[in-house]
Amino acid sequence: MGPGQRSQEAGAKEGSRREFLRASGAAAAGSALAAMAIPPVYAAEDNTIRLALIGCGGRGSGAVANAMNAPGGPVKLWAMADLFEHRLKGACDHLGRRFGKRVEVPPERRFVGFDAYKKAIDCLRPGDIAIDGGYTAWRVVHLDYAVKKGVHFFMEKPFAVDPPAVRRLIKAGEAAEKKNLKIGAGLMCRHSKARQEMIKRIRDGAMGQIIYIRAYRMHGGRRLGRRPANANELMWQISHRTSFLWASGSLFDELNIHQIDEICWLKDAWPVSAHGVGGRAPNNNSVGQNLDTYSVEYAFADGTRATMVARYIPGCYNEFNTYVHGSKCGGHFSGPVHASNCYICKDQRISRDNVDWRAGREPYGPHQAEWNVLLEAIRNDKPHNETKRAAYSELTSIMGRAAVHMGKIITWDQAMASNFQFCANIDALDEKSPAPVKADAEGRYPVPIPGRWREI
């Protein structure tokens, strides 16, 4: 087993990205800009790519910061949209203080409501970028519209909440391909130079045949209190999206899809089946739908296995790492809060005093790297469409979640063919719509019970 790690409860709060950006954004941008000239290939007269931000939380604002710091500029934030006005205003004020005149979003280009994404995208020209950092349930709705309007698209993870949305995502990606639109997906670790170097060594046989992969994300969790009596049911559920399966796909999906994607990347394959166990702590008084523990075993076509272990209970052992074991030796692929401390060991003992090879220090983090690649692809018209890979990683996550929730073995083919939907009318929801899930008399929402629950 790998070495214990200090508590990573901050990771569950998704604050790490913003802290990283504040610490490293300016320095990374300076070196990157010095290393790359900007070719004059964009059709607009001023050569500036305009951005529309849909979903103005930390992830969306972080993506804007990455775009601003990338060498493929100049870029300008041009329009913003969110379901909540306070989120939009807070993000606009913050980004304006940080980036000054590069944030040009007057009141007439600030949109609030369920159709706000359309209005923001309508402010763009072909060749501009819509950034979707909003709510997972609407991810593919926004992608569909962006492709229709002929703009490039960046989408944060997760990407879909159920199998029909995954298939719709794939279809939208195919339509984007036909229009030569560039689509970036927020599985940023794929753009880590250290990880790419380790993957190359693995493919070259440095570790032998990959026989087992194990990933852990274990830290303190969240507990959802009862809805205030005067709060709009639908809007309250959306504002607490990670506690509701229809809105986010679950806390498991929100937090673990990165490492699930790493598993598939390391194996260079998609799993054929998943099964797992999970549950709630006896003292969990949350009214939301999440479990506290998940342990998923993925099986691949060659018979090898990978496990994803998640726990959201305070006061316990914490770990946030991905390990890989080959027939020759083991290695460390990903560290706390997605740190790129990659190394291969001399044997199966994964520890810092048993290292045979270690990746070099990265010039900038993976969040920045994914934007450098996206903007370079747009400026130089290089192929770049991450939709299908993101959809497949999403389906892998959905398989694992469903296996635990249902207490069943879930196959890839079964998941891909499933017509189960948490919210069949997601495109038509508005402020007056009833919420997709209802609380019981005690204010609690349905929690998955293995053997009775269905989501595939």
Q: What's the whole-model pTM score?
A: 0.90
**What is the mean pLDDT, run by run of 10 residues, along the chain of 456 residues?**
39 41 40 38 68 97 98 95 98 98 98 98 97 97 98 98 98 98 98 98 98 97 93 97 97 97 98 98 96 98 98 96 98 95 97 97 94 98 98 98 98 98 97 96 97 98
d(CA 303, CA 372): 37
Instruction: Extract the tokens encoding 45.
Output: 């007269």
User: What phi, psi does 82 have (nearest 5°)?
Assistant: -160, 165
Q: Which residue has the tokens 């316990």?
A: 316
d(CA 100, CA 60): 18
Candidates 321, 255, 247, 239; CA nearest to 294 is 255
Q: List CB contacts of 290: < 8 A, sequence separation 6 or more.
A: 221, 222, 242, 243, 250, 251, 252, 312
pLDDT computed for residue 326 by the predictor = 98
Cα 308 to Cα 16, 259, 293, distances in angstroms = 21, 8, 11
Q: For the segment 244-267, what is each residue's pLDDT rounded down to a tens digit?
A: 999 999 999 999 999 999 999 999
Q: For the segment 274-320, what is each residue's pLDDT rounded down to a tens digit?
A: 999 999 999 999 999 999 999 999 999 999 999 999 999 999 999 99
d(CA 235, CA 329): 50
d(CA 254, CA 128): 27
pLDDT computed for residue 45 by the predictor = 55
145, containing H or E segment? helix 139-149
Distance of CA 390 to the CA centre of its chain: 9
Q: List CB contacts of 279: < 8 A, sequence separation 6 or more.
A: 291, 292, 293
Domains and CATH numbers, the chain: 9-189+368-386 (3.40.50.720), 191-362+394-428 (3.30.360.10)
Instruction: Extract the tokens encoding 254.
Output: 């929100």
Q: Which amino acid is at 352?
A: R
Q: Which residue has the tokens 């909003």?
A: 134
d(CA 366, CA 285): 37
Give the start-end residues of each E strand in 47-180: 49-54, 75-82, 110-112, 129-132, 152-155
Q: Specify the long-range contacts of residues 291-296, CB closer than 8 Å, at least 24 apart.
A: 291/252, 291/404, 291/405, 291/447, 291/448, 292/221, 294/252, 294/256, 294/400, 294/401, 294/404, 295/404, 296/400, 296/401, 296/403, 296/404
Q: Which amino acid is at 33?
A: L
Q: What is the DSSP string of 362-402?
A: PSS-HHHHHHHHHHHHHHHT---B-HHHHHHHHHHHHHHHH
